């Protein structure tokens, strides 16, 4: 037996090669898959958790969830001993950097990251380096259960760089959000944001497709100048194209002042996502809540790199009536998976809550494992503008889901399914990943990837970047 396969016969049958072969013999649009006997964590407020439940996938969508569903002509997958969960949603990752993973694991501050990565390595990237980094990030996301990833692609030096990043998302098979921005430093063609119209026409002409487009921008002009800073002109460009906006580096006093300024211009709202949001004022948070603006937190980035207060702003978001999404941010210094983000946020918030009332006799206000899983799924989808598409196992939504082995050594016995997903599981427990109804990971392995060839491409790209840049 392969060392990567489970020794439990029932679970091995769940996602075995024979079942996958059955599925792939059927055309995708006529494929029916019935998962049976699972603990289903729907993250749908009306459906909750279903013990010993079934879930039916038809084509690219979930069509039924409940006990003892009729299989009809569906391929039946015995999911006994597993948890079915929505795929995780990453609301902000700079995917092009993936071949530089953990190159600066102990980076001291934002300035250190900016000068090494954005002013150094980024300036020598070729389109093929954009493709390799972005595809690697997307495949890694799938492996760890992230079915939707917003790629904040802020190294679009030429049209070809943008095309390469989009094609990498497409080729990986992830539900990708390409958020396009020009680079901070170095030579580039100055084609952004004008090139967004061409990108939309070429890659995003349909409203019902796996990839979507957003405009990416910065909060202020402190780092890279006014051309990349959010304001009425960029808001107008996004509005004219009917796409959302993701705003990075929303920090402290300058970020707070920018939020109030955007509100005066009427350019905040549900289609705008503000990223990080550490150290913002009460007035800024109230404005964000009043306008329905969404928020993407980056728990490990804020805490580890030390962004403004270094405290993920979950309490501030909740106080303003905003349930945030979660994100990975930069793999040059951080972990790549959503399990780490959920656990970090859960731990940090509960530590702060207890510390705040220590010795007072008052009860701490603590978030729960359900909260952080909600942030990582349903709220992440809403933050990315995809709430009607993904984020919960709701009939009618696309089939973006995980099969998590609950009887593995590190998870058995199954007592609380949400606690097991958030606190017990990791990528090794994910037996299968479906994106848009298509199996992307099966029997514990990411599908359709020539790993030796990918490894060589990644190494060659990394060596080129390291030897060519001045870092």
- Give the CATH number for residue 402: 2.30.40.10
| pLDDT at residue 9 greater than cutoff 70 | no
Q: What is the mean pLDDT of residues 203-207?
A: 89
Q: b/e map of 229-267 (b: 16 or more CB within 10 Å)?
A: bbbeebbebbeebebbbbbbbbbbebbbbbbeebbeeeb
Assigned domain for 468 exists: no
| pLDDT at residue 4 greater than cutoff 50 | no
Assigned domain for 315 exists: yes
Q: What is the mean pLDDT of residues 198-219?
A: 94
Confidence of residue 222 (pLDDT cuts 50, 70, 90): confident
Mean pLDDT of all residues belonging to the chain: 95
Residue written as token pair 């979930």: 62
The predicted-structure confidence for 417-461, as pLDDT tens digits, reads as follows 999 999 999 999 999 999 999 999 999 999 999 999 999 999 999
Q: What is the pLDDT of residue 75?
A: 95
| pLDDT at residue 392 greater than cutoff 90 | yes
Q: What is the pLDDT of residue 204?
A: 96
The number of distinct structural domains making up the chain is 2
The predicted-structure confidence for 92-145, as pLDDT tens digits, reads as follows 999 999 999 999 999 989 999 999 999 999 999 999 999 999 999 999 999 999
Assigned domain for 471 exists: no
Q: What is the pLDDT of residue 224?
A: 77
For residues 177 and 193, give the distance between their C-alpha atoms in angstroms, rounded to a whole number: 17
Helix ranges restricted to H, 211-291? 232-241, 252-265, 282-291
Q: How far is CA 305 from the centre of its chain?
A: 19
CB 171 within 8 A of CB 112: no
Query: Quick one: 130 and 229 in the same domain?
Result: yes
Answer with the one of 358, 383, 408 that is the final residue of a domain.
Answer: 383
Q: What is the pLDDT of residue 28?
A: 87
Q: What is the mean pLDDT of residues 324-348?
A: 98
pLDDT > 90 in the chain, percent: 91
Query: Quick one: 409 and 377 in the same domain?
Result: no
> Angle, nearest 10°, between helix axes 369-376 and 338-357?
140
Query: Quick one: 81 and 97 in the same domain?
Result: no
Confidence of residue 8 (pLDDT cuts 50, 70, 90): very low
Query: Quick one: 39 and 135 in the same domain?
Result: no
Q: What is the mean pLDDT of residues 184-204?
A: 96
Q: What is the mean pLDDT of residues 350-372?
A: 96
Q: Which of 248, 246, 251, 253 is nearest to 268 (CA)?
A: 246
- Containing H/E element for 163? helix 159-172
Residue written as token pair 């490894």: 455
Q: What is the pLDDT of residue 17?
A: 86
Assigned domain for 202 exists: yes
Q: What is the pLDDT of residue 208?
A: 78
Q: What is the pLDDT of residue 16?
A: 82
Query: Quick one: 70 and 126 in the same domain?
Result: no
Q: What is the mean pLDDT of residues 33-45?
A: 98
Query: Quick one: 160 and 99 in the same domain?
Result: yes
Query: Quick one: 299 and 351 in the same domain?
Result: yes
CB 125 within 8 A of CB 96: yes
> Angle, nearest 10°, between helix axes 232-241 and 196-203?
20
| pLDDT at residue 147 greater than cutoff 90 | yes
CATH classification at residue 321: 3.20.20.140
Q: What is the pLDDT of residue 237?
A: 97
For residues 248 and 184, give the distance between their C-alpha atoms in angstroms, rounded to a whole number: 12
Query: Quick one: 163 and 296 in the same domain?
Result: yes
Q: What is the mean pLDDT of residues 324-339?
A: 98
Tokens of 217: 């921008």
**Pairing mode, if any, of strands 82-86 and 401-405?**
antiparallel
- For 157, counting Cβ atoms within 10 Å of its Cβ (0-12 exposed, 13-18 middle, 19+ buried), the class is buried
Query: Quick one: 312 and 244 in the same domain?
Result: yes
The predicted-structure confidence for 152-185, as pLDDT tens digits, reads as follows 999 999 999 999 999 999 999 999 999 999 999 9
Query: Quick one: 261 and 221 in the same domain?
Result: yes
Confidence of residue 2 (pLDDT cuts 50, 70, 90): very low
Assigned domain for 4 exists: no
Query: Quick one: 27 and 137 in the same domain?
Result: no
Q: What is the mean pLDDT of residues 184-191?
A: 96
Assigned domain for 462 exists: no
Q: Which of 189, 187, 237, 241 is nearest to 217 (CA)?
A: 237
Q: What is the pLDDT of residue 246?
A: 98
Assigned domain for 260 exists: yes
Assigned domain for 456 exists: no
pLDDT > 70 in the chain, percent: 97
Tokens of 127: 């389109």
Q: What is the pLDDT of residue 15?
A: 62
- Non-local (6+) Cβ contacts of 236 within 8 A are none
Q: What is the pLDDT of residue 207?
A: 78
**Pairing mode, if any, of strands 75-78 and 32-41?**
parallel
For residues 38 and 53, give the distance between their C-alpha atoms in angstroms, rounded to a whole number: 5
Query: Quick one: 442 and 320 in the same domain?
Result: no
For residues 176 and 320, give the distance between their C-alpha atoms in angstroms, rounded to a whole number: 29
Answer with the one of 383, 406, 435 that is the final residue of a domain.
Answer: 383
Q: State which residues form the domain around 364.
A: 88-383
């Amino acid at each position: 037996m392969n060392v990567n396969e489970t020794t439990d016969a029932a679970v091995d049958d769940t996602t075995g090669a024979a079942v996958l072969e059955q599925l792939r013999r059927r055309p995708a649009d006529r494929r029916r898959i019935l998962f049976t006997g699972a603990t289903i964590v729907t993250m749908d407020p009306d459906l909750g958790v279903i013990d010993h439940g079934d879930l039916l996938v038809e084509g690219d969508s979930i069509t039924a969830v409940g006990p003892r569903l009729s299989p009809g002509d569906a391929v039946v997958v015995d999911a006994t001993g597993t948890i079915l969960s929505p795929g995780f949603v990453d609301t902000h990752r700079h995917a092009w950097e993936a071949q530089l993973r953990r190159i600066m694991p102990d980076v001291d501050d934002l300035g250190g990251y900016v000068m090494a990565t954005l002013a150094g390595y980024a300036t020598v990237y070729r389109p093929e380096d954009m493709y390799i980094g972005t595809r690697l990030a997307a495949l890694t996301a799938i492996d760890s259960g992230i079915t939707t990833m917003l790629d904040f692609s802020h190294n679009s030096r030429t049209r070809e760089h943008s095309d390469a990043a989009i094609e990498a998302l497409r080729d990986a098979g992830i539900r990708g959000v390409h958020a396009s921005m020009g680079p901070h430093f170095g030579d580039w063609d100055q084609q952004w944001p004008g090139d967004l119209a061409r990108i939309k026409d070429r890659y995003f002409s349909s409203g019902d497709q796996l990839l979507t487009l957003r405009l990416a921008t910065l909060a202020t002009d402190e780092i890279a100048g006014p051309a990349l800073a959010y304001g009425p002109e960029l808001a107008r460009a996004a509005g004219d194209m009917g796409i959302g906006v993701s705003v990075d580096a929303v920090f402290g006093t300058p970020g707070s002042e920018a939020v109030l300024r955007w509100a005066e211009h009427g350019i905040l709202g549900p289609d705008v996502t503000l990223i990080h949001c550490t150290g913002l004022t009460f007035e800024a948070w109230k404005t964000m809540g009043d306008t329905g603006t969404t928020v993407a937190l980056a728990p490990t980035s804020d805490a580890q790199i030390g962004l403004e207060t270094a405290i993920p702003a979950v309490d501030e978001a909740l106080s303003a009536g905003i349930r945030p999404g979660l994100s990975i941010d930069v793999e040059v210094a951080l972990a790549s998976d959503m399990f780490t983000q959920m656990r970090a946020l859960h731990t940090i918030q509960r530590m702060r809550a207890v510390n705040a009332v220590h010795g007072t006799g008052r009860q701490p206000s603590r978030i729960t494992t359900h909260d952080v899983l909600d942030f990582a799924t349903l709220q992440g989808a809403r933050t990315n503008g995809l709430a009607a598409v993904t984020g919960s196992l709701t009939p009618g939504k696309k089939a973006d889901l995980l099969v998590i082995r609950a009887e593995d050594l590190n998870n058995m016995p199954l007592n609380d399914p949400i606690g097991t997903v958030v606190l017990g599981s990791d990528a090794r427990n994910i037996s299968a990943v479906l994106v848009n109804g298509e199996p992307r990971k099966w029997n514990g392995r990411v599908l359709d990837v020539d790993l030796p060839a990918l490894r060589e491409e990644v190494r060659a790209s990394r060596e080129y970047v390291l030897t060519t840049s001045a870092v």
